[in-house]
Amino acid sequence: MLARLSQHLAARMGLHFPPERWNELQRGVAATAKEFELGSPMACADWLMASRMNRQQVEMLASNLTVGETCFFRERQSFDILQMEILPEIIRRRRGGDQRLRIWSAGCCTGEEPYSIAIILRQILPDLADWNVTILATDINPRFLHKAAEGVYGEWSFRDAPEWARDRCFHKVGKSLYQIRPEIKAMVTCNYLNLADDLYPSLLNNTNAMDAIFCRNVLMYFAPGQARKVIRGLHHALVDGGWLLVSPSDFPHVHVPSFAVVSYPGAILYQKVLQREPVAPHEETVVCSGQGIQPEAADVLTDGSGNSAEPQVIARLARAYADQGRLAEALAACERAVATDKLNPSHHYLRAMILQEQGAADEARSSLKRALYLDPRLVVVHFALGNLARAEGCGAEALRHFSNATRLLCAYEPEDLLPEAGGITAGRLATILATMKEREFAS
């Protein structure tokens, strides 16, 4: 039974349970059986293998099969390198220009990791208010995400933290309980994401153009083939020169030639090798309507001589630039696509996504409303408007947009690819929406 269940979990969730971990798997299944009132672990295993697991089953298993043990500044060397080496160099290069920083905690658990990153940024960046900072925290476990979003921690979570961190960055809310200060909490966005199933990089889930990705003590849970797939996705989600930080337990899974291995005292990091002017993150040419754009043709499309090119080709180029974090070039290409095809809602949507990454929320909202006027059925536009409202603390408005998106999803089959969603299916977006609404709008 355990052998078949292990194979099923590897195929559905990417989770790897070799024979030496079957005791752990058995305990997780027993806990899941109890929560679903199925009577026995055997009955639970049969139920899980009977059909493709739904969202509730996946989330419940994730809650019982993944370890939620973490703390602030865990594996301190990685945070020291981030603070002393990586961030200062990025800040130096971008100060006075495109002042943006994007960091992703992939497998954020209960939030200590992304909040540690936020604490570091507030410490080393005196003009933080002048920067467009994204700290994305994702996990498959909704219970972990709920705790991360609450931001309340006990004494044990501070066991590896510097002495000043708790006093400066938290306030006491009960006996031995501490809540992260609002200004630090606001720096972190907590979202549901399944590294085994979801697509990244993607403008839709904000996983593109990352300067650094923390994916620590995560890859060890995946089967080897799934781990390689995750690493490829994380590689594409990084800008050129971006950094991947993993734990020693994850080292055997990182085999991507275009990562350079960089050794620091007490830690090994992986840096994305600078590429030769790629147009798209996944391919050497951009193909649209049977035509290709070679890398050397990219500049032709973004200067004044590209007006005659197909708008769809220019928009594809804009998306590729956005995925790489080249936002000025992305916006220039997108503006050209809009100018040559004003009534195409997808161009206005893409423009909004780029503007949002640049921190121009009002302009992004205007472009989204224009896209919605041209096609009220575009689910991703309702979703994007909801995320904008959510980021600004407008819960009722966010819920309205998310409810509109959920209603429109009823017209699709779960496996249907959504227009402008970058390969995300209707079923996946429905899962994301349901998880967000349950976690943040339950009342």
Length of the chain in residues, anyone?
443
Tens of pLDDT along 182-229?
999 999 999 988 888 888 998 888 999 999 999 998 888 888 888 888
For residues 353 and 385, the answer to whether their CB atoms sit within 8 Å is no
Model confidence at 300, pLDDT cuts 50, 70, 90, reads: very low
Question: CA nearest 386: which of 208, 210, 205, 237?
Answer: 205
Question: What's the CA gap between 143 and 66, in Å, rounded?
Answer: 11
Q: Say whether 243 sits in a helix, a strand or coil.
A: strand
Q: What distance in Å separates the CA atoms of residue 400 and residue 214, rounded to the nearest whole number?
A: 33
Q: Is the CB of residue 32 less than 8 Å from the CB of residue 78?
A: no
**Cα(429)–Cα(403) distance, rounded to whole angstroms?**
12
What is the maximum alpha-carbon separation in the chain?
A: 69
Alpha helices in 101-201 (DSSP H): 112-124, 142-150, 163-169, 182-185
Q: Is 17 helix (H, G, I), strand (E, B) or coil?
A: coil
Per-residue pLDDT reduced to its tens digit, 367-421: 999 999 999 999 999 999 999 999 888 999 999 999 999 999 999 998 899 998 8
Tally of CB atoms within 10 A around 186? 12
Torsional class of 364: left (φ above 0), alpha (ψ -120 to 50), beta (otherwise):
alpha
- Rounded to whole angstroms, the Cα distance separating 45 from 248 reads 32
User: What is the per-residue pLDDT across 313-328, written as a single tens digit (0 to 9) for each?
Assistant: 898 899 888 888 889 9
Q: Under a CB-based contact definition with an 8 Å cutoff, are residues 65 and 15 in contact? A: yes
